[in-house]
Amino acid sequence: MCKPIKNILISQPAPVDIEKSQYKVLIDKYNINFTFNKFFDVVGVSNKEYRASKVNILDHTAVIVTSKLAVDNYFRLAKELRVVIPESMKFFCVTESIANYLQNYIQYRKRKIFYGKLQFSELMDVILKHNDENFLYPCSEDTSVENFKLLEKLKIKYTKSVMYCSATKDLQDIDIKNYDMVVMFSPIGVKSFIQSFPGYNHEKIVFAAFGQSTHAALKEAKIKTLIQAPTSIAPSMIMAIDKYLSFSPKEMEEHIIKIDEEFNKKTDKKAAVSLKVTSKRTSTKPKPNSKS
């Protein structure tokens, strides 16, 4: 597992200009190569399907936006449904870049647009200041439930609105043996990988996961995640990869031991729970009749 990292596969589309991206920093610093390949396809919900959900866009006074896909599909459906978005509609975006992306559809200066720093939990600080709004949350069917739990915990009035769906993609045209690291950003991407390379020895690759749901999907597939983001130390995937690549041999050994312990502990715990349930079921079987 400690072999040098030279070729990294990123399960996302390439940045518009990699020379101006943070990936370029890692390329120059570590002399590594990045290959970008989106691991899933996105299919927009049709206006007929959306009507069937009985969610009315104009019943809401604000929109929670967590991705550019959400922006695209929100305005696509509004157009197809002939819904005119009022200027009073407020938009709460996870990052400033997503907020700026809204300019493709609306005049920025005429709207009430708010944004966080990077993580959804940071956006909640902004949302709480407007907790009297009725929020619409455009999303896909596999959006992390953690975000919804947080909204509910803080008693924010919102409606989950599925506007697009993710579909697995055949990745067999990728020669996976050429890569030392694979970076995952979604559970559906993990699913595509597992389906495309079912017999491959995952121990030959360093896996990185962005987000709890992605990490959970890898764990479910019995694949160890050596690089995790976001964390307090590495809030972005770029920073997490940078930290991993900067490890000294001793730090790398300690890191791998820690990951192995956590992975095996959780696996053993799951097995113990399974054994306990099995034992319980066995003990509840009716005793054989002593009368013959």
Question: How confident is the model over 83-131, as pLDDT tens digits?
Answer: 999 999 999 998 888 899 999 998 877 678 999 887 888 899 999 999 9
Residue 175's contacts (CB-CB under 8 Å, 6 or more residues apart) are: none
| Res 164: pLDDT | 94
Q: What is the pLDDT of residues 152-165, one digit of tens each?
A: 999 999 999 999 99
Residue 142's contacts (CB-CB under 8 Å, 6 or more residues apart) are: 166, 186, 187, 188, 213
Residue 2 pLDDT grade (very low, low, confident, very high; cuts 50, 70, 90): low
Tell me the C-alpha distance between 19 and 38, whole Å: 20
pTM above 0.75, yes or no: no
DSSP bridge partners of 8 = 34, 181
Residue 62 pLDDT grade (very low, low, confident, very high; cuts 50, 70, 90): very high
Q: What is the architecture, at CATH level 2, of domain 42-167?
A: 3-Layer(aba) Sandwich (3.40)
For 23, the token pair is 């990936």
* Start and end residues for every CATH 3.40.50.10090 domain found in the chain: 7-36+173-246, 42-167
Helical (H) or strand (E) element with 33:
strand 33-36
Tell me the C-alpha distance between 71 and 127, whole Å: 18
Q: What is the pLDDT of residues 193-241, one digit of tens each?
A: 999 999 888 889 999 999 888 999 999 999 999 999 988 899 889 999 9
What spatial distance separates the first Cα and last Cα of the chain, rounded to whole Å? 63
Fold for domain 7-36+173-246?
Rossmann fold (3.40.50)
Q: What is the pLDDT of residues 13-54, one digit of tens each?
A: 998 899 999 999 999 999 999 999 999 998 999 999 999 999
Taken in order 157, 163, 164, 165, the sign of the CA dihedral is positive
Residue 266 pLDDT grade (very low, low, confident, very high; cuts 50, 70, 90): low
Residue 9 backbone phi and psi in degrees, to 5:
-100, 120
Query: Considering only CA atoms, which of 64, 165, 73 is closest in space to residue 123?
Result: 64
